[in-house]
């Protein structure tokens, strides 16, 4: 008991030390490098700031999936849908904020509606001219969909590959629906040409830095929330669900409620990530619902190490950094690289990069103790 507490305290100290160092890097060093003169060799270009912010949104999305897959054993291949719904909610607010500055100068209708000869604003666009309403919808829409979907699936005891398939079917159905012009979400082109957020010009470097910092804070807050959650009694029940769901049910715990809570919370977190993603990339369209995107999210978590939280962040950042480099240097190689990476991780590193780190650490510990 004393040894386990000592190990736990050492792990906590390492976590908090790493958290503070990374927070300082993200919140202090990046803005400082961006503030350097353009000719400086250490200067961070302005175009890199939203790219880094996009990576942090992806890392938060990976955290959301790790909660349900790594701790509940629920492999969702539809988390891209929750991410996209949060993005559309923010995009709708940004479109309403354009006002008369659009191409057609119509304050009542977005440009794409004027082009398609819409006569009035659809009822489901009401309220999105207010930021607080859009922020509420960023949480409510993905959360409500996840709650309804999860309630139907979990109470029916749909698990394993069957659950993965129907989550993928859900995001594919949403993609097809949002592609239709009559849905009122911009069709194939989606929502774009945003001007400002809360009165701040989105094209200005200061606004881009503010969004980047908001993404960093969001990722850190999500990590702390998830770490606290998995350390509670509910977190231990979730891990038990992953390892032996039938035994948990036999002991009298409600497996449906535990999975439903985790799935809904995860979807809401994905929605927040999507909401911060959209103003930084400047567009949201139905391609974000693509099932391939949801599969890619699972690859991020698998590469980093599911059930570790920190591993999900590492996986998202490393894979997307590789994607940015490869799609520029050799775009035809990227998909082959992604497929090979998933196969290699599955066969050689089933616990991901975090599992490899633990294996190396144990090896060094044995060497130091003189066992090898």
Using one digit for the tens of pLDDT, what is the confidence trace for 37-89?
A: 888 888 899 999 999 999 999 999 999 999 999 999 999 999 999 999 999 99
Residues 20 and 63 in one domain: no
What's the chain's average pLDDT? 89
Domain with 22 in it = 1-45
Out of 246, 261, 290, a domain closes at 290
Q: What is the pLDDT of residues 4-42, one digit of tens each?
A: 444 456 667 888 888 888 888 889 999 999 998 888 888
pLDDT on residue 163 = 93
Separation of alpha carbons 234 and 231, rounded Å: 8
Longest dimension (CA), the chain: 80
3-state secondary structure (DSSP) of residue 186 = coil
Q: What per-residue confidence (pLDDT) applies to 78?
A: 92
Residue 83's pLDDT is 97
* Least confidently predicted of 97-106, 226-235, 348-357, 360-369: 360-369
- Any domain includes 308: no
Q: What is the pTM (predicted TM-score) of this model?
A: 0.92
In this prediction, residue 14 carries a pLDDT of: 81
Q: What is the pLDDT of residue 7?
A: 46
Each residue's pLDDT tens digit, 257-305: 999 999 999 999 999 999 999 999 999 999 999 999 999 999 999 999 8
Q: How many independent structural domains does the chain possess? A: 2
Calpha distance 173→167 (Å, rounded): 10
Q: List, in order, residues 6 or more apart from 159 with CB less than 8 Å away.
A: 74, 245
pLDDT at residue 353, as a whole number:
84
Boundary (domain end) residue, out of 249, 268, 290: 290
pLDDT grade for 213, boundaries at 50, 70 and 90: very high
Phi, psi dihedral angles at 128 (to 5 degrees): -75, -5
pLDDT bin (cut points 50, 70, 90) of residue 328 is confident
User: How buried is residue 7: exposed, middle or buried, by Cβ count under 10 Å (0-12/13-18/19+)?
Assistant: exposed
268 and 170 in a common domain: yes
Selected residue with higher pLDDT from 349 and 358? 349
For residue 356, the model assigns a pLDDT of 76
pLDDT higher than 60, residue 367: no
Q: Do 103 and 17 lie in a common domain?
A: no
87 inside domain: yes
Round to whole Å and give the CA distance between 84 and 68: 18
Assigned token pair, 70: 């790594």
pLDDT for the residue numbered 365 = 59
Which residues sit opposite 191 in a β-bridge?
284
Q: In which residue are the tokens 């709650």 written?
A: 147
Among 244, 273, 290, which residue terminates a domain? 290
Per residue in 176-210, pLDDT (tens digit) is: 999 999 899 999 999 999 999 998 999 999 999 99
Planar angle of CA 150, 153, 158, nearest 5 degrees: 135
Residue 297 in any domain: the answer is no
Residues 304/314, Cβ–Cβ less than 8 Å: yes
Torsion of CA 131, 133, 139, 142, to 10 degrees: -110
CA distance 356 to 87: 34
H helices of the chain, where? 2-24, 30-34, 48-70, 79-98, 111-115, 131-155, 160-179, 205-231, 233-250, 255-281, 291-304, 310-329, 334-348, 352-369
């Amino acid at each position: 008991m004393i040894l386990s507490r000592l190990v736990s305290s050492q792990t906590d100290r390492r976590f908090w030390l790493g958290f503070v160092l990374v927070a300082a890097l993200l919140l202090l060093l990046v803005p400082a490098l961006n503030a350097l003169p353009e000719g400086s060799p250490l200067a961070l270009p302005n175009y890199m700031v939203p790219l880094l912010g996009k990576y942090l949104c992806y890392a938060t999305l990976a955290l959301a999936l790790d909660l349900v897959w790594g701790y509940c054993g629920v492999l969702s291949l539809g988390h891209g849908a929750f991410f996209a719904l949060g993005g559309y909610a923010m995009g709708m607010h940004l479109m309403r904020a354009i006002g008369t500055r659009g191409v057609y100068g119509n304050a009542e209708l977005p440009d794409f509606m004027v082009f398609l000869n819409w006569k009035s604003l659809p009822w489901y666009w009401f309220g999105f001219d207010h930021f607080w309403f859009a922020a509420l919808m960023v949480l409510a829409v993905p959360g409500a969909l996840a709650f309804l979907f999860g309630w139907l699936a979990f109470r029916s005891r749909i698990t394993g590959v069957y659950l993965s398939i129907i989550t993928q079917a859900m995001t594919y159905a949403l993609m097809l629906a949002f592609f239709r012009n009559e849905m009122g979400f911009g069709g194939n082109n989606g929502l774009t040409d945003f001007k400002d957020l809360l009165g701040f010009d989105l094209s200005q470097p200061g606004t881009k830095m503010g969004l980047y910092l908001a993404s960093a804070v969001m990722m850190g807050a999500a990590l702390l929330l998830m770490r606290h959650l998995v350390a509670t009694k509910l977190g231990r029940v979730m891990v038990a669900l992953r390892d032996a769901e039938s035994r948990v049910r036999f002991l009298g715990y409600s497996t449906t409620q535990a999975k439903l809570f985790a799935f809904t919370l995860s979807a809401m977190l994905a929605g927040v990530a999507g909401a911060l993603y959209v103003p930084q990339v400047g567009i949201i369209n139905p391609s974000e619902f693509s099932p391939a995107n949801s599969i890619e999210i699972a690859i991020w978590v698998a590469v980093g190490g599911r059930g570790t939280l920190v591993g999900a962040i590492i996986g998202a950042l490393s894979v997307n950094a590789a994607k940015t480099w490869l799609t520029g240097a050799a775009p035809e190689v990227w998909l082959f690289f992604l497929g090979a990476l998933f196969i290699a991780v599955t066969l050689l590193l089933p616990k991901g990069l975090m599992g490899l780190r633990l294996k190396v650490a144990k090896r060094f510990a044995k060497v130091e103790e003189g066992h090898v």
